[in-house]
Structures are given as structure tokens and as C-alpha cells.
């Protein structure tokens, strides 16, 4: 933040406000504190019989790699509405029976992923504007080496493991990215 | 947003960007799109034997009313870290065995509450700077008429109900506030 979005002043500094313990962007002209907080990314793991629905990304980053339909939650909607909306936008797919399945914090990019396990209402899906292809995959055919993000890999791994038992408990955890290796370290999972 | 926080221009307008379907703040000078997204509020329902820990608020809004320790998640932390931190800051209480218990969307204020059921490590708690008092309550003594927020009422109601069965499943839902009555309508709960 270089300018105050409220008064336009360039006198924006980063410091810890009185009674706080985190540095914030503060305008020294109008004294407004500009808080910045993590964003929620939410989406679905849509299931049809023994298959899962994946989308091939038509946008950067990770153009051409496979992902689950998901995106940033918007103001004035619920998490479920956002997950349903993203699934419609990216895969033109209608889903039902939402069950929260993964809550994963990514502190290095200040995001929280919330993924719902869902049932497809029908198989009338099609690529949305952000997808090149949308396809149902048998578990044995999941393109593990061509998944777009560690979160997607993690979600599908849990799903395949849980499928064996038929129990799909909520998984809560985080993905800590170490700057030296750029490889994700799976911190814990309760 | 009245000024662009990146270039300082006052030529900030609200319109739907190309390829989008939601109005955003856009700078017509430098063309930056300023996205705004919901915030996460997270905290704990700390349990000790058959009692729950509540904090009497020392800050507005709802000064003097009782709440669970909770607050805005910060950048660069996990949801669990944020819940533990808030519990320490508001109640000087240490907790363990975090279990995600409530995920409640409040679309009218673009917040998502994520409350963890936890066990107190000990009873060496004390009011933090944002609390007047911190106290353990037997379930029969919970001050239902003096709770600070509908989310707190909802969380404690579920807890008291679930306590009977000894099963504490995750509750996902939303609180829709109707502008005419200012009373929360509990939309659904899966």
C-alpha cells in the first residue's frame, strides 16, 4: 500500500498501532489503519459414481494442469454458495450434498482453502471460461503428476484413502512452504 | 475506496471488469483492480470438566457482554494458530486438542466464523486487554441473555445440545440477517 485509499495521502507507513502487536499500514494524514487479512479459497470435489471431476486450467498460474473447481470467496455470500458458484463457473456443473472435507491453511500466501465433498447432480458439465477441459476421472486415472496445486494433490490423496473405508471425516491442517526448496511440507493433519 | 492505494489517483470507479461478473473497485489511471474479500474470525470454545470459558468484553461493540475468545485471523498464520492466539490474548488461556466445531458464514458482513472446541490446559486464565472478566460457567449458568453475538449463542446452543449425546460433529451453516427486524434467521445447518 503506497497511498491511503481513504484520503489519498502518500504518508502511509507500516507500524504497530497502539494496543496492537502486528505492523499495519497506517495513514499518518488521516490516521486510518488499513488491515489486511487472509483470503478464503473454496470449491468442490465433485463425485459421480466412483469418479471425480477435474478441470484443466485455461488460466495462469499452472495453465494446462488439472485442478478441482475452486476460487476466491466473494463478499456477501456464504462459503457453500461460493463453492457452488465456483463449480458452476469453472465446470458448468451442478452439485448437491455439500460436506466440508478439507480446511487447509497456507500461511505463506495467507490463504485458507475450504473444499467440500459433493455429489454431481448430473453429468451435463462443460468447460467454463477458466477451463480448457472438464473430465471425470476414475481414481486409478487421476493425473497425479499434472495437478495444479499441492492443495489439490492433498485433497485427492485424502479422498482416495478415505474411499477405501467409506468414511470421509473433515481434514484440518496446513501446508507450510519452505522458501529454500519450494516444496510443500505437510505440517500436520488432525 | 476513494483513492487508488497503488498510484494515489482519485479516478477509482466501481465496475465489472472484463471476464468478471462482480463489480470491483478499478483505478482508471493505473488500471489496477482492487479485490475485496470476506474475513475469517476464529476462536475457541474452551472446555474444563463440565464448564465452558467465557470472556466479558472490555471493548465495543457489545461492551460488557459475554463472548467466546475469538478475533480476526491475521496474514501468515494458520486458522488454528489464530484461534490459539486469540484465546491467549483475550483470556490468557492455553488450549489443546483443537477440533473444528462451527463454520458459520455471515454474508451480510462478509465474515466467516471458524470456532474450535478445545480443552483448557489449566485454569490459570485471566482477562486480556480486551476482556473485563474471564470466567468458567456451568452449562446451567451460561448467561444466555447477555451473550455478545448471535454466533456465540449459536455455538453454545450446539455445544449444550451435543453434550447430551457426547458427539460433537462439525456444524456448517450461515446466519442471515434480515434488515427489517435485525434478528438473525438461522438459515440451515448441515
Write the residue in A7, A8, A22 that is nearest to B74 by C-beta. A22
Residues B119 and B179 in one domain: yes
| Contact with chain B for residue A160, Cβ under 8 A | no
The residue range of the domain holding A109 is 39-189
Residues A131 and A170 in one domain: yes
Q: What is the pLDDT of residues A99-140, one digit of tens each?
A: 999 999 999 999 999 999 999 999 999 999 999 999 999 999
Mean per-residue pLDDT over chain A, rounded:
93
| Residue A140 to chain B, least CA–CA distance (Å) | 31
| Residue B21 to chain A, least CA–CA distance (Å) | 10
- For position A28, which CATH number holds? 2.20.70.10
Write the residue in B8, B10, B38 that is nearest to A40 by C-beta. B38
Please answer whether residues B26 and B14 qualify as being in contact, where contact means their C-beta atoms are separated by less than 8 angstroms.
yes
Task: State residue A177's pLDDT score.
Answer: 83
The DSSP result for B94-150, as a single string, is -EEEEEEEEEEEEGGGTEEEEEEEEEES-S-----TTEEEEEEEEGGG--GGGBS-H
Cell digits for A145?
A: 503428476
Residues A22 and A51 in one domain: no
Cell digits for A76?
A: 456477501
Cβ under 8 Å to B: A residues 131-150: none
Q: Are strands B12-15 and B24-27 parallel, antiparallel or unpaired?
A: antiparallel
Residues B20 and B100 in one domain: no
Residues A19 and A69 in one domain: no
ipTM confidence score: 0.92
Write the residue in A38, A76, A80 that is nearest to B75 by C-beta. A38
Residues A66 and A109 in one domain: yes
- For position B158, which CATH number holds? 3.90.79.10
Contact call for A105 and B80, based on CB within 8 A: yes
Band (pLDDT 50/70/90 cuts) for residue A187 is: very low
Residues B76 and B141 in one domain: yes
Q: What is the pLDDT of residues A70-91, one digit of tens each?
A: 999 999 999 999 999 999 999 9
Cell digits for B124?
A: 490459570
Contact call for A34 and B5, based on CB within 8 A: yes
Residues B101 and B21 in one domain: no
Q: How far is Cα B8 from Cα B4, in angstroms, rounded to an integer?
A: 5
Q: How far is Cα B151 from Cα B147, in angstroms, rounded to an integer?
A: 9
Residues B151 and B97 in one domain: yes
Residues B131 and B78 in one domain: yes
Q: How many domains does chain A have?
A: 2
Q: How far is Cα A46 from Cα A99, in angstroms, rounded to an integer?
A: 11
Residues B31 and B47 in one domain: no
Mutate to test the interface with B, among A12, A20, A38 (most CBs of B within 10 A): A38
Task: State residue B19's pLDDT score.
Answer: 84
Residues A86 and A146 in one domain: yes
Amino acid at each position: 500500500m503506497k497511498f491511503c485509499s481513504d484520503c489519498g495521502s502518500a504518508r502511509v507507513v507500516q507500524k504497530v498501532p497502539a494496543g496492537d502487536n502486528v505492523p499495519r499500514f497506517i495513514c499518518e494524514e488521516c490516521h486510518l489503519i488499513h488491515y489486511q487479512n487472509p483470503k478464503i479459497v473454496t470449491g468442490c470435489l465433485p463425485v459421480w459414481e466412483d469418479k471425480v471431476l477435474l478441470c484443466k486450467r485455461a488460466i495462469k498460474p499452472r495453465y494446462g494442469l488439472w485442478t478441482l473447481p475452486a476460487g476466491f470467496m466473494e463478499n456477501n455470500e456464504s462459503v457453500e454458495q461460493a463453492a457452488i458458484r465456483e463449480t458452476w463457473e469453472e465446470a458448468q456443473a451442478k452439485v448437491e450434498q455439500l460436506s466440508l472435507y478439507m480446511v487447509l491453511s497456507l500461511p505463506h500466501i495467507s490463504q485458507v482453502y475450504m473444499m467440500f465433498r459433493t455429489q454431481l447432480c448430473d453429468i451435463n458439465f462443460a468447460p467454463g471460461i477458466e477451463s480448457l477441459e472438464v473430465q471425470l476421472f476414475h481414481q486409478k486415472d487421476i493425473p497425479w503428476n499434472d495437478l495444479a496445486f499441492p492443495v489439490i494433490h492433498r485433497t485427492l490423496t485424502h479422498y482416495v484413502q478415505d474411499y477405501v473405508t467409506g468414511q470421509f471425516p473433515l481434514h484440518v491442517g496446513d501446508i507450510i512452504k519452505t522458501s529454500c526448496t519450494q516444496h510443500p511440507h505437510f505440517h500436520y493433519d488432525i
